[in-house]
Amino acid sequence: MLSRTAAFGHALRRATLSSTAVSESPTVISFDGAEKAETFAAFFDQGAPMWASMLAQANKVSPEGVPTKILDLGCGPGEPACHFATYYNNVPVIASDIAPTMVGLAEARAKSKGLGNVETMVLDMEDLSPIESESVDLVIAQMSYMFVPDKDKAMAETFRVLKPGGVLVANVWVSFELIPIAGGLMSAVVGAPSAPPAPNPNGPLSLADANVFDDYLMNAGFEFTSEHNFEGTFVGELGPLDDLQSFKMAALPVWDALTELEESGAHPDAWEKAKAAFPEVAAPYVNEESGGVTVEGAYRLAVAQKPMKSV
């Protein structure tokens, strides 16, 4: 629990940083590159409650019997693929991601868990052509649809590979405190924007509005199940304020932007400035009990089904 002082700081920080949400041009956010992927991997196990809730919701709506093939889209370092592969230990699970570094981490994770039923693939959600039409019973995707530029295409591809009656379980952020922290780091480099920046249509909050995601699902032909739009909350620790790894995690949403500012020469010290600003920007998020920076979030889970007879 946050102390009263820290909680007050939290509220204050939320208010002051709401206008400095990550400045986002409609650029594609990449998760590739060893350092970035490993920074993400160091914290991503904290998403375990989310992939557990994904399995619970999938089990509530899946048609009778055990699935014969599961596909994880945007698996990052290997989840929720490995979680599902552990539960359904005789069912083939494809763990896929567009970033080869992530696929390498997923392969290592499946191996370290002794999971012989996980196959890894580099796959772009917009083009699942290596996967046969109507060959998958269950598609799972944790926090990945938001980053795809052509979401209609990704959804159409998801629909295509599912069998009639097959289920899609996908979660997206509704809110996430990492975003204002990253916005604060960016402001420390380029200055606070005079007006709130337009949200990035390919950013972590791009599907925060349920109507927007529901439209993509309906346009592709999906029907909503009884569990559709289940909501949950997330709490994660970045680590101590003076820790380089905590800073790098906080910088993930603006990683490419900082690198671009540095490489273009516009702000040759962008990373150094962001790092110097981190202790002040993240201080209001320190949980006094753990001493670490704690970020909260809310997510929503789409639980949709391909109609038994596709139209």
Ligand X SMILES: C[S@@+](CC[C@H](N)C(=O)[O-])C[C@H]1O[C@@H](n2cnc3c(N)ncnc32)[C@H](O)[C@@H]1O
Does 143 engage in binding with ligand X (CB under 6 A)? yes
SS3 278: helix
Q: Which three-class secondary structure string do you get for 70-113?
A: EEEECCCCCCCHHHHHHHCCCCCEEEEECCHHHHHHHHHHHHHC
- The torsion angles phi and psi of 48, rounded to 5 degrees, stand at -55, -45
Is the CB of 102 or the CB of 220 nearer to ligand X?
102
Largest CA distance in the chain: 58
Q: DSSP H helical segments within the chain, as ranges?
A: 4-17, 34-43, 48-61, 81-87, 100-112, 151-161, 178-190, 210-220, 244-250, 255-263, 270-282
Contact 85, 91 (CB under 8 A): yes
Is the CB of 176 or the CB of 285 nearer to ligand X?
176
What angle is formed at CA 306 by the lines to CA 303 and CA 308, rounded to 5 degrees?
130
Does 76 engage in binding with ligand X (CB under 6 A)? yes
Q: How far is the CB of 255 from ligand X (least distance, A)?
A: 12
- The torsion angles phi and psi of 253, rounded to 5 degrees, stand at -65, -20
Residue from 38, 107, 119, 126 in contact with ligand X (CB under 6 A): 126
Does 75 engage in binding with ligand X (CB under 6 A)? yes
Residue from 82, 93, 95, 99 in contact with ligand X (CB under 6 A): 99
Does 125 engage in binding with ligand X (CB under 6 A)? yes
Q: How far is the CB of 79 from ligand X (least distance, A)?
A: 5
Place of tokens 């946050």: 2
Q: How far is the CB of 4 from ligand X (least distance, A)?
A: 32
The H or E element that residue 228 is part of is none
Length of the chain: 311
Q: CA-CA distances (angstroms) from residue 14 to 28, 90, 156, 210?
A: 26, 46, 37, 22
**Residues binding ligand X: number (CB under 6 A):** 21
The 236-275 site mask, x for binding ligand X (CB under 6 A), equals ----------------------------------------
Residue from 13, 24, 71, 74 in contact with ligand X (CB under 6 A): 74
The 8-47 site mask, x for binding ligand X (CB under 6 A), equals -----------------------x------------x--x
Does 124 engage in binding with ligand X (CB under 6 A)? yes
Does 102 engage in binding with ligand X (CB under 6 A)? yes
**The one segment of 71-79, 243-251, 253-261, 281-289 that binds ligand X by CB under 6 A:** 71-79
**The one segment of 84-92, 93-101, 109-117, 214-222 that binds ligand X by CB under 6 A:** 93-101
Residues in contact with ligand X by the rule CB under 6 A = 31, 44, 47, 73-76, 79, 97-99, 102, 123-126, 142-144, 147-148
